Chain A
Amino acid sequence: MRKRTKDEILHDHNHDGIDRRGFLKCMAWAGTGAFYVMQGGVLRSYAMSQLSKPGAAVPETGELSFVQISDSHMGFNKPANPDVAATLKAAVDKINGLAMPPEFLLHTGDISHLSKPEEFDTVDQILKGATAKDVFFVPGEHDVLNDDGQQYRDRYGKNTQGSGWYSFDKKGVHFLGLVNVMNLKAGGLGTLGAEQLEWIEKDVKHLKSSTPIVVFAHIPLWAVYPEWGWGTEDSAAALSYLKRFGSVTVLNGHIHQTMQKVEGKVMFHTAASTAFPQPEPGKADSPGPMKVPAEQLRSLLGITEVSYVQGRQALAVVDSTLA
């Protein structure tokens, strides 16, 4: 039985400003249990929860649960993964076996390797095997090759704005799917652009500050490693519009490894790829695919489960590998 606590948390204070009580409520929500579990021998926990609520544990049940997958790179066929379809299928199997079935999936881009129609077709086919039927996409730079993303938008972005950004609400949580892989400038990083920034400002204007916000985009919205282009030029402007919110979760892909950072009320998290791993920042000559022994591959690929447990004011982000 799921706890019905939505109203208690989200509609407790019905004005837009954050009073002390509302602020604490938001802080509690943000500060409770962001878990980071790496299976396959390594277990790490970024227990934000320990700051405010040591008792908080992995939620048994949630009001809202979804899974993020990323960087399926369908069409890639080189070492260390000659069969990225098989590992995407393994990811779907993993998702279907989760104790808390997700209501939907997020795919944070690089669906395809070369924007070929058959690559998108294969991904669509494999994702049909997921019990969660809804998949929300944002494009990676590999999905918008040669046509400025037209094919991507025809397939995945029918009701989106501009180059493919959009928002939606699920059980009181507001989601923003952003595009930061278009019109990249020489020497620069990911870019949202003025038009999208303006849209973000307008999109969240009407929301109460207690509304939990989830932002997802391909390239990290924080400076993971600008030397390799792992960041977004104008992410600070985007985040400035989200400052007043008590809880902001930012989910990205692109770097093919899990990483997390907490900055005030904002939690940044990157998901693993389902296709191939990339090196840790600066630990190789380039961010190219890491060649690892076949038996290690699946321990470096994975999915990310995100749950929002309103009853416990908790947000949990759990990474699990495909091993």
Chain B
Amino acid sequence: MKRIVLIASVLAVAVMGGARVGSAQQGVAPTAGEAAASSAEVKIGNFSFGPTSLVVAVGATVTWTNGDDIPHTVVSNDKVFKSKVLDTDDKFSFTFAKAGTYPYFCSLHPKMTGQIVVQ
């Protein structure tokens, strides 16, 4: 099941996403002015990104969580963002400041691909 979680505030993510949000968080943290921007989650499971394509608003923070028993990475094709290796339950977040389509993949298992559409 693909699941899109669109939450109004970063605080809500912290509540719903569990206590580990901060533990492996990387990328650009939202500034105070963007605190109200939307956030979204991508689940990594069964060697795939869910949802494969995610549409978010400019300023949204996307958080990837690895639910597999095998480590994965989240790497932008155009080198806009790149996570460290994510072990089971590790998370990676990135805030999209500019509109556009951001294709990404797992650099360990490059058949795993996805995209974030920022509009």
Contact = CB atoms under 8 A, between A and B. Distances in A.
Contact of A288 (B69, B103, B108, B113): B69
A227 B108 contact: no
A172 interface: no
A115 B84 CA distance: 12
Contact of B84 (A146, A186, A226): A146
Contact of A229 (B46, B48, B69, B111): B111
Interface residues of A, number: 24
Contacts of B111: 187-189, 226-229
A185 B104 CA distance: 10
Given A286-B48, A288-B46, A141 B108 contact: yes
Nearest to B84: A146
A186 B69 contact: no
B110 A229 contact: yes
Contacts of B69: 78-79, 288-289
Nearest to B107: A184
B87 A142 contact: no
B88 interface: yes
B85 A184 contact: no
B110 A114 contact: no
Contact of B70 (A79, A184, A187, A288): A288
Given A78-B69, A113-B71, A145-B85, A186 B47 contact: no
Interface of B: 46-48, 68-71, 73, 77, 84-85, 87-88, 103-105, 107-111, 113
Query: What 8 A-B pairs are tightest by C-beta distance, nearest first?
Result: A186-B105, A286-B47, A286-B46, A229-B111, A184-B110, A145-B85, A141-B108, A285-B46
8 contacts: A78-B69, A78-B88, A142-B108, A145-B108, A189-B110, A228-B111, A286-B47, A288-B46
